[in-house]
Every structure is written in structure tokens, then in C-alpha cells.
Chains A and B, each alone.
Chain A
């Protein structure tokens, strides 16, 4: 392990990679701050640039953007009460009231420190857990991989939120359907190309990611009059105030940061759970843990209420790299985008990554830690200036983002037809968003589709065309059982709860 860390450190501290880390953190912070554009959009926007870099530098840049975007989203939550992404919605609960009370500087500094603690604890856990899991998963066979992909898809659907499981599953299937467009990798047969030469290579992952997460998000933000009103509103916080935290304040929030970081990491590791659930959970836990006096402060500018979600969402962002790096299963929408980018590099994330590309594996882990430091030393002094970026008129910003998205895809394929396909997918994505269909499961289905088909085909070949591996091979059976649990666990629990509730109601009625 120490040898690996050494490889990671030497790769990550190369001047060019350090530069990428700085650029990534800065660009991510800027993009993340724009209301409506979250980490997924930020990473999707940066992918075309990473294609010109070597894999280590590319993934370091993407990781920097990811971290920066999560932090940037917090900045807009605190300053203008407009969360850049779902995982920083909770940050606004106490961050914005703090800013209104004249403590915007303190709130931003606390967000930065909490992010640092969360990211650092997450990175330390990642150093120990990722190689362990990678070693175990080296014994995986095709059938286990197939089961893992099913688990990844079902887990993402299961965490989609109440009432959205079915929709998320449908979106997974849509993603899988889109992945079948093009030439079949095993026997060269064309599928769903309808005779068009443009579709022979299938849909490009970058095109799909850009159209759904960059174009659609931006167009939606322009369409939504309420966001327009928020976006045009510059910070009503007159001055940032002091950025210093007193000793007693640090003492007060330190245990919260540690607790929330550990919780955030654990939630982040679960495929599909992600930073949003982690931040809500951490906030809820801290509120329940707090004394009666502290509890009343929550929602009115509590330091603990700000530190908890910030630590948790950063730790969860790091945690989501565990399943990506060790099993090749993304833990969140953002890591799903990164998985696609790695595959485009010819690198297959999973247990073999640890063996075949130790430089990539370890440099990502080390860059996580360094990224946190960069974020702290870069963003903390720059906060007053970064906040000014929120004042760039949206009338200028939006066309520029559209231009970067379109050009990003065009510069990879040099085919103007891709722009038209992007627009069609963007329109479909807007429609799906309006119908409350989540888009991340679709991207995950699209990315995992090819691998799922290959592994199923191989598993069937190995097991003489029999599906018996699903129940005969213990590991495959266990993973499939977990997938079923992820899928049916919550609905079953709800059913039992409602039954119990009914019985209770009945008892009360009888008692009366």
C-alpha cells in the first residue's frame, strides 16, 4: 500500500498535475456556484478538455472540478440562497440566515473548513478501504460483475426518492436501450441504426452527458422564471464580515464535523446514495443530537447546522469513489460521468484498475487529499473575489456555457450532426425533467449497458448457456440478493409500516 501511495504522491505532485488540480478546483468552484449547474454538469463540461490529457492528469482535473463544484454550490447557497446543486440545499438552511445576519464571511469560511475536514476524513478512509475492496474484488468473475452492474442500477433506482423508484428504473432501462444503439461489440451486427452511418458507432457518452446535464440544465434555468429572478438577484449580503472563527466556535463544531464526515463517507460508499442524502442525513442527525437550546438555533443560522451538511457532502463525494475505483460501479451521477470518461480513455475502472493502472488508482486517491488542501488555500482567500463572479450577467454566461457544451462535443467528433443530436436529446431531457424523471439513472444505464451485456454473454458462455450462475455461485447470488433488497427493501418496509400503522390505528379505535 505504501508503495502505491508513493506512486500516487509522485504522480499527483508533478507540476502539471498540481496545475490541473488548481485549475480544476477553481473552474469547479466557478461552475458550481452558478444556480442550476451542479457537480455533474461541471464535470461533464470539463470532459472535452481532459481528452487531450493523459489519464492521471485528466482524472485529477475532474476530481478537482468535482470538489470545487461541491464547494462552489455551497457558496451560492450561503450568499444568495440559491443552491448550485441538490447536495447543498441543506447548506442554505443555516448558511443563508448566517449571511443575512452579517456573518457571510464566517459562514463561507466554516463551509470551507467543514468541506476540508469532510474531504480529508473521506480521503483517509478511501486510502484504507479502496485497496482492501479492490483486492477482494480481484476474485470476481463475469457473473459477479453482471450481478454488480444489476446492483448498481437497482441501488441508484432505490435511492431515487419516495415515489420515484419506478421512474428511476424506467430511466435505467432507457439508458440501457440507448447503449444498444450502434454496432454490437461481439458479432458486429448493426442495431437500431436505421441505416444511418452516423449511428454505427453508437451514441457518444460525452454527447449524452453534455446534452442531459449541461445543455438541458442551462436551458431549463433560462426557462424557469423563478430561477431567472434568483439568478438576476445579486447577493443582498452587504459585506462578508469577518472570516475568523473563535476557539469556542471551533470547539463547538469540531465533533459535528467529524461525526458528519464519517456518516457522509459511509452513505457515499453505498451505490446511488450520494452527497444529497448524506447532507440531509447529517443535518437531521445533528439536529436530533443537539441540546434543546441548540436545536432551536437550527434553521436560524446554527454553525452546527452549516458544518454538518458541508462535512457530510464532501465526505460522501470522496466515498462515492470507492465503488467506482474498486468495482467499476459509480456511486453517484458525477462518478457515473467520470466512469464514462475513464472508459473513453481505455481504462476500465474496477479491481483491475488497482493492478493495471496503479498510477491512476493512487493518484486519484492522493489528489483527493491534495485537492482538499488546494481548495482550502485557493478558495478561502479568494472567497470575496469568487463571490463577485456571481455578478456576471446571466445574459452573457448562458450563451457561453451553451457554446462550451456544443463545442466540447464537436471538437471530439468534428461532426456537426452531433450538435443536432444533442439538441434532440436536450429537448427530450427537458421533457423528462418536467415529468419528474431523474436523468442520472439513464446515464448510468447507458454507461453500464455495454459492460452488462458483455459480462452476461461471457457468464452464459462459461456456464454452458445456463442462467444457473445466478443462484449456484454464492458470490453472484449474494450480490443479486443485495440488489433485490435494494429494490424491494424500501417498498416492503413501507408496506409493513403502513400495515402496522393500520393495526395501531385499529387498536386506538378499538380502545376508544
Chain B
């Protein structure tokens, strides 16, 4: 099913909220004594940006009053959510399981999510490839890659 949305109005509202939030956060920026006498402080540019952002968002909202809703392309949201979750999980396990194990699992899961079921391809494009990459990084380019908390705990 195709979804229709008023892109400009939604965009305008999001940026208006963002500009207001950004403008409010300026109050959290600490100031040094005497800064009140300075023309340009750490708050000056952010304040100007919050103002410009609000004005532009309002302009977009006003100009999009007569906007007709547009159809979004036919998107497969489920696969995007799966890939995002996979990447996030990779970020979590990378330092726990170590580069080799985490990356092999990431690639295997990635191929699987995208529908690859050929076992030879799944194997050839995961562990050997990661090993080559790991060898290139650690042995040729001399980049240190931590083995991971789990492997360290196991004494590897």
C-alpha cells in the first residue's frame, strides 16, 4: 500500500520543533564572567541559527499551505528495521566478541536478511573475507584491533 504525506508541512514542523529545541538548549551553554560585555560569544552563532532556522521553517510551513499530499515510493520498511537492528547489534558486540567474530556474524546475518541462502556463498563471503581484512589491518597496516572482552576473558 502506498502512503501519502504532505512532505513540506511535516518537514517544516520537524524543523520548527528542532530550531525551538536548539534555541532552548542555548540557555545550557555556560558563560564566562565578562562574556555579557562581548559582542560575539559561544552563544552568538547558535542563537542566530535558531532564529534563522525558525524563520525558514515557518516560511516552509506557510508556503506549503496548499500542498497536495505526495505518494511515498513503495518501501520495504521491515528490511530497513532489520538492517538497522543488525548494525546496532554489531556496534554492541564489536568490543565484546572482538572484530573477527563480530564481523563474521554481522556479514552472515546481513546476507541472510537480504535473502542469501547459498551456503557456499555465505561461508566464502564471511569468515575468509574477514580474515583477509583482519590480516591486512593488523599485519600489513599495523593497526591494533582489540581481540574483544570475551576472548580476553577466555585467555586468547
Contacts and interface: CB of A to CB of B under 8 A. Distances in A.
Contacts of A398: 110, 114
Contacts of B79: 222-223
B116 A434 contact: no
A423 B88 contact: yes
Contact of B73 (A177, A226, A406, A411): A226
Contact of A222 (B83, B141, B143): B83
B116 A393 contact: yes
Interface stretch (A116-124, A278-286, A306-314, A452-460): A452-460
B42 to A, nearest CB: 4
A33 to B, nearest CB: 19
B11 interface: yes
Interface in B56-114: 56-57, 59-60, 63, 72-77, 79-80, 83-84, 87-88, 90-92, 94-95, 103, 106-107, 110-111, 113-114
B76 A191 contact: no
A427 B28 CA distance: 27
Interface in B128-156: 129, 133, 137, 141, 143
Most B Cβ at <10 Å: residue of A166, A394, A465: A166
Interface in A169-187: 169-170, 173-174, 176-177, 180, 184, 186-187
A52 B49 CA distance: 35
B9 to A, nearest CB: 10
B29 A396 contact: no
Nearest to A464: B39
B57 A170 contact: yes
B87 A223 contact: no
B42 A170 contact: no
Nearest to A445: B49
Interface in A356-409: 393-396, 398-400, 402-403, 406-407
Interface string B1-45: 000010110110011001100100100111110000001111001
Given A225-B76, A419-B94, A396 B15 contact: no
Nearest to A405: B87
Contacts of A396: 111, 116, 121, 125
A224 B73 contact: yes
Contacts of A294: none
B32 A407 contact: no
Nearest to A191: B29
A434 B90 CA distance: 26
A416 B15 contact: no
Contacts of B7: 434-436
A181 to B, nearest CB: 10
Contact of B40 (A174, A228, A465): A465
Contacts of A407: 103, 133
A187 B30 CA distance: 11
Contact of A420 (B10, B72, B88): B88
Nearest to B11: A435
Contacts of A393: 116, 121
Contacts of B88: 419-420, 423
Interface residues of B, number: 63
Interface residues of A, number: 60
A174 B53 contact: yes
Interface string A208-229: 0000000100010011111010
A180 B28 CA distance: 13
A224 B75 contact: yes
A319 B84 CA distance: 38
B56 A170 contact: yes
Contacts of B92: 416
Interface string A52-87: 100000000000000000000000000000000000
Given A416-B91, A423-B87, A189 B30 contact: yes
B56 A399 contact: no
B91 A453 contact: no
A192 interface: yes
Contacts of A394: 114
A391 to B, nearest CB: 13
Given A226-B74, A465-B40, A170 B15 contact: yes
Contact of B94 (A184, A191, A416): A416
Contacts of A189: 29-32, 42
B84 A427 contact: yes
Contacts of B87: 215, 402, 406, 419, 422-423
A219 B84 contact: yes
Interface string A425-439: 011001010111100
Contacts of B83: 219, 222, 402
A223 B115 contact: no
A298 interface: no
A406 B92 CA distance: 12
A167 B8 CA distance: 8
A500 B109 CA distance: 61
B40 A166 contact: no
Interface string A451-473: 01100110011000100000000
Contacts of A456: 40, 45
B125 A410 contact: no
Given A170-B53, A400-B125, A420 B46 contact: no
Contact of A187 (B42, B56, B84, B107): B42
Most B Cβ at <10 Å: residue of A173, A224, A407, A427: A173
A434 B91 contact: no
Nearest to B53: A173
A385 to B, nearest CB: 20
* Those 4 A-B pairs whose CB atoms lie nearest each other, nearest first: A399-B110, A419-B91, A395-B116, A465-B39
Given A177-B49, A423-B88, 4 more contacts: A176-B45, A403-B106, A403-B110, A416-B95
15 contacts: A166-B63, A167-B8, A174-B18, A176-B49, A180-B46, A191-B46, A192-B25, A194-B25, A219-B80, A395-B116, A399-B107, A422-B87, A437-B11, A456-B45, A460-B40
